[in-house]
């Protein structure tokens, strides 16, 4: 009995050491990718701003608490100028970071969950189920995500209303999250399915079948861990697309003016006539923020795909 316990402890210790060694190896390879490090650094900055905007610019300014005059140019008091209501644009942009990043994160989680489940199930089970699921994914791939989101968002908003809240989020933002999530999963599903098709032919899957493992157990215990690195790398790139889609939907007026995002700020700037009035400071901060975040996610995603995919490194 004691020998059995000792063997189990040694096995767990060995697994822990292996994980730590793999983690150190991953860190060493990732540091060599300067583009990935740069992307991660940018995202850390925006992540800190999203978590605690009040620490940097104070509470969100409103029409009542506006601290400046209408469309004032950048100055010492307002580094990024003011909007048409006299609100500080820097204040709006920093607070908009939380909304845009939160929507991007939640939409990415929905996208990755749906895509991973469908991809693993289709690839592992095959047959008619695979055919049906891939035909559905083909539909979402053929129809552009933004067009589908543009159609679904107003319909869902009309059904649920704009004043309701869910977990502290106004329903306008919840709808945007759901719409982005359910229209962006097809690419992820295709990628995960292709990897699953390869994994299901491996010896460890055959052994799991022989000892009586059910399909659900095999997919959860053997397939999912082996595609997790692919899911992570794809999620980072999906995040960039989610932020861009949210920005576009908010820019055309589907955002929430009471919880400003970068897209909603651009929409307000256009409505105030900022381009025609030469108020570039109203447009530049949210636009540059969008560019930086999308670029950062793209750099980080490409670096992770390279580091986590040994076959890709061999080809290069």
Whether the predicted pLDDT of 48 surpasses 90: yes
d(CA 21, CA 199): 24
Lowest mean pLDDT among 56-60, 75-79, 152-156: 152-156
pLDDT digits (tens, 9 = 90+) for 215-242: 788 888 888 888 888 888 888 888 888 8
pLDDT tens, 278-309? 889 999 999 999 999 999 998 988 888 787 76
The pLDDT value recorded for residue 1 is 44
Of 58-62, 144-148, 162-166, which one has max mean pLDDT?
58-62
Q: What is the mean pLDDT of residues 94-105?
A: 89
Residue 166 above 60 pLDDT? no
Select from 129, 145, 136 the least CA-distant residue to 180: 145
* 265 close to 96: Cβ distance less than 8 angstroms: yes
DSSP secondary structure string for all residues of 163-219: S-EETTEEHHHHHHHHHHHHHS-HHHHHHHHHHHHHHTTSHHHHHHHHTT--HHHHI
pLDDT for res 229: 81
User: What pLDDT does 88 receive?
Assistant: 92
pTM of the model: 0.81
Place of tokens 């700037």: 269
Q: Which of 24-28, 58-62, 94-98, 229-233 has the lowest mean pLDDT?
A: 24-28
Mean of all residue pLDDT scores within the chain: 83
Is pLDDT larger for residue 10 or for residue 37? 37
Percent of the chain with pLDDT over 90: 23
pLDDT (average), residues 197-217: 82
Distances in Å between the Cα of 217 and the Cα atoms of 190, 195, 204 are 22, 18, 13
Nearest Cα to Cα of residue 191 among 29, 300, 26, 309? 309
Mean pLDDT of 174-186: 84
Candidates 48, 51, 99; CA nearest to 265 is 99
Residue 6 has pLDDT above 60, yes or no: no
Nearest CA to 259 out of 191, 179, 158, 174 is that of 174
pLDDT tens for 117-132 read 999 999 988 889 999 9
Q: What are the structural domains of the chain?
A: 104-316 (1.10.3720.10)
Q: What percent of the chain has pLDDT over 70?
A: 89
């Amino acid at each position: 009995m004691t020998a059995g316990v000792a063997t189990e402890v040694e096995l767990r210790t060995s697994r822990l050491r292996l994980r730590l060694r793999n983690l150190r190896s991953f860190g060493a390879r990732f540091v060599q990718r300067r583009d990935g490090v740069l992307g991660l650094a940018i995202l850390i900055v925006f992540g800190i701003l999203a978590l605690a905007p009040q620490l940097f610019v104070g509470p969100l300014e409103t029409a009542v608490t506006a601290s400046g005059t209408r469309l004032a140019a950048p100055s010492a008091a307002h580094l990024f100028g003011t909007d048409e209501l006299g609100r500080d644009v820097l204040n709006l942009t920093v607070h908009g970071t939380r909304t845009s990043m939160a929507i991007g994160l939640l939409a990415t989680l929905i996208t990755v969950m749906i895509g991973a489940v469908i991809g693993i199930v289709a690839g592992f089970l095959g047959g008619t189920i695979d055919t049906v699921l891939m035909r559905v994914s083909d539909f979402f791939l053929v129809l552009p995500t933004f067009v589908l989101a543009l159609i679904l968002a107003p319909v869902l908003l009309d059904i649920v209303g704009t004043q309701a809240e869910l977990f502290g989020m106004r329903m306008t933002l919840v709808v945007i999250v759901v719409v982005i999530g359910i229209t962006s999963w097809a690419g992820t599903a295709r990628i995960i399915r292709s990897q699953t098709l390869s994994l299901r032919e491996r010896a460890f899957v055959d052994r799991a079948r022989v000892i009586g493992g059910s399909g659900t157990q095999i997919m959860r215990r053997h397939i999912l861990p082996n595609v997790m690195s692919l899911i992570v790398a794809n999620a980072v790139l999906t995040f960039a697309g989610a932020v861009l889609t949210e920005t576009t939907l908010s820019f055309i007026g589907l955002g929430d003016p009471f919880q400003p995002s970068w897209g909603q700020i651009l929409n307000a700037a256009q409505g105030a006539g900022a381009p025609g009035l030469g108020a570039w400071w109203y447009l530049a901060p949210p636009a540059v923020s969008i560019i930086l975040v999308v670029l950062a996610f793209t750099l980080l995603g490409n670096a992770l795909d390279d580091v986590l995919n040994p076959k890709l490194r061999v080809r290069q």
